[in-house]
Amino acid sequence: MSPTILVAGATGNTGRSATETLSKLIQAPDSPLHNHRILALTRSADSPAAQHLAVLPGVEVIEQNWVEITSEWLQTHHVVRAFIASQSKVSHFAEESTFHLALLNAGVKYVVRISTGAAFARANATAYNARGHWAIEALLSAPEFKALHWTSLQPNAFCTFWFSPAVEFIKEYRTTGRADSVLRLMVPKDCAVGVIDPAEVGVVAAHLLVQEDTTKHTGRRYVLNGPEDISGENIVQMIERTIGVTVQNVRYGDLSALDAFLEKGHMGSGNSRNVIWSIRRAAETAWEFKAPPTSKEVLELAAPKRTPQQMLGSLLE
């Protein structure tokens, strides 16, 4: 069996583009990994996204929950490199650390993981998920994990999260012809953030995974920002250019949608409300801290290019 690049969460917002880009890169005549295959994991092989990936050159799609993967499973499938973008659940650290331990014990050589923004991933982060990402990076930095090369990507705010109220407002206007409903933006009026398309994060991950020598990238945390910063006021201006009328009622820094999401996630989960609600602080942290510039290694590999206007256009398609 050919050596394998494993993509956990292949149909997710970063995993899909990572898989698509890997397929293109390993097909190149000069690719050092031209003899590798890509094993794309999904929860449903019948989904449109999974079926799209299944026809790509060098890609095999299988149904497999990555949290159940063992070192024996990895060895059976000849996995030598891996990609992981885990969800921000309370069980995040336990599940992802178990995954990395399986990689280590199976002799996997390199893993690229998606972290959270550089401003968040620290030991004293109020949001539990941010501390979890810091803890995973600390774990991978331990001497016991020296044999497993790793890179952690720290993207700024994803456009899908930042622009969702704008997308909903525009779609409602196109249906009703009314622009007088309340636009609730999570970002403050004057807070400029370098939002990024998740697909471009996946592209960077793929370029890292095909590096012949991963030594220069191991133990590194790479920052990713979009090419342009955008504020709440800028988002309103984008909406007005799109629909051609003035937005009449805007509430900046409004976290009501996030509160509703957290409430829904807490109901019947058995998890601490105090822990779950700490994720609210992640949005507030984004307002308070300016993200570092995009890492030069990212700019050299696959610099993010999609502008906020292009991102909004794609989300409206």
Residue 125, φ and ψ in degrees, nearest 5: -65, 135
The residues facing 82 across adjacent strands are 6, 111
Whether the CB-CB separation of 187 and 287 falls below 8 Å is answered with yes
Between 122 and 207, the more confident residue is 207
Q: Domain locations in the chain? A: 4-156+196-226+291-305, 160-191+228-288
- How far apart, in whole angstroms, are the C-alpha atoms of residue 81 and residue 207? 12
> What is the three-class DSSP state of 255?
coil
- How far apart, in whole angstroms, are the C-alpha atoms of residue 188 and residue 212? 43
All residues at 6 or more sequence positions from 273 whose CB lies less than 8 Å from its CB, including other chains: 266
Tens-place pLDDT, residues 47-106? 999 999 999 999 999 999 999 999 999 999 999 999 999 987 888 999 999 999 999 999
Taking the model in full, what pTM does it have?
A: 0.94
- How far apart, in whole angstroms, are the C-alpha atoms of residue 171 and residue 183? 12
Q: Which two tokens stand for residue 129?
A: 């998920």
- The proportion of the chain whose per-residue pLDDT surpasses 70, expressed as a percent, equals 96
- How far apart, in whole angstroms, are the C-alpha atoms of residue 314 and residue 149? 35
> What is the three-class DSSP state of 178?
coil
* DSSP letter, residue 252: T
Cα–Cα distances in Å, from 191 out to 209, 247, 257, 287?
34, 19, 19, 6
How many beta carbons lie within 10 A of that of residue 286, not counting itself? 23
Kindly indicate the confidence band of residue 288, based on its pLDDT and cuts at 50, 70 and 90. low
Given CA atoms 16, 18, 21, 23 in this order, what sign does their dihedral have? negative
Give the residue-averaged pLDDT of 114-119: 88
DSSP tally for the chain: helices H, then strands E: 14, 9
CA atoms within 13 A on the CB side of 93: 14
Q: Which two tokens stand for residue 252?
A: 């900046």
> What is the three-class DSSP state of 160?
helix
Q: Within its chain, how far is the Cα of 3 from the centroid?
A: 25
For residue 221, what pLDDT is reported? 97
- How far apart, in whole angstroms, are the C-alpha atoms of residue 81 and residue 252? 43
Tens-place pLDDT, residues 148-184? 999 999 998 899 888 999 999 999 999 999 888 999 9
Summary mean pLDDT of the chain: 92
Domain 4-156+196-226+291-305, CATH among 3.40.50.720, 3.10.20.30, 3.40.50.1970, 3.40.950.10: 3.40.50.720
Give the residue-averaged pLDDT of 192-205: 95
Cα–Cα distances in Å, from 40 out to 52, 87, 92, 251?
11, 17, 21, 41
Cα–Cα distances in Å, from 270 out to 36, 86, 275?
42, 20, 11
